Structure 1
């Protein structure tokens, strides 16, 4: 009788294990706010190099236009407005102009009716080619 009981328990464990594995194969579904079609745009700023001065720009340089970016502290518990976020936004705008370089001319805090604090950075967007 002990043998039969062990066999039944073993069979039950095997069946339960199989059922558990089958239940896990579907897995949970995960939703994100990332759009697969626009994935490159999320990291566009990383393709734009920041130079301190126009004299540092290597190769053949084409001026594409002016860019600006801002950082806004809209609520009391938000992070402070900062130049890093404002520069990132400006680099994203430069990338949308097909620029691969930017030289920032200034960053300044400004007053805004919708922000408790606001920082704006201004720069020049360039396209650099080696030829």
Structure 2
């Protein structure tokens, strides 16, 4: 009988960080720096890669509350997928509506620092 082996978790996370078309390794979300003020970027050359957002939805009163940390981490992960190494935060807030009893939304610009 042949034994089935599975990659360990470190290999799986490495596979998720590679671009499936080119095989190039993407930035991990751990390497994405969060800027909360545009002044922090004065004099820093960068390329704007687009808007990224994350959200956490509380569908009903029985569900856990919407979480700003989850929304922020989703936003940063999406920026890493774009090969960004920074995010300039535009907003992070908790709202009601939009199909959720309560929703946490974070939005920012994915940036590639070009120093």
What's the TM-score, normalizing by structure 2?
A: 0.69
Aligned length, in residue pairs: 99
Q: Give 3-state SS (helix, strand or coil) of 2:69's partner.
A: helix
In the alignment, structure 1 residue 112 sits paired with structure 2 residue 98:
yes
Tell me the equivalent position of 2:33. 49
Q: Shift of residue 109 of structure 1? A: 2.5
Structure 2 residue ranges without an equivalent (≥5): 19-26
User: RMSD across aligned C-alpha pairs, in angstroms?
Assistant: 3.0
In the alignment, structure 1 residue 73 sits paired with structure 2 residue 58:
yes
| Aligned equivalents of 1:127, 1:99: Cα separation in 2 | 5
More helix by share: 1
- Residues 74 and 99 of structure 1: is their aligned pair in 2 closer, same or farther, counting only changes over 3 Å? same
What's the TM-score, normalizing by structure 1?
A: 0.61
- Kindly report structure 1 stretches of 4+ aligned residues shifted beyond 4 Å: 32-35
Tell me the equivalent position of 1:6. none
- Residues 35 and 120 of structure 1: is their aligned pair in 2 closer, same or farther, counting only changes over 3 Å? farther
Q: CA offsets per residue over residues 46-72 of structure 1, 9 Å max, x none?
A: 121101222213642111111111011
Tell me the equivalent position of 2:24. none
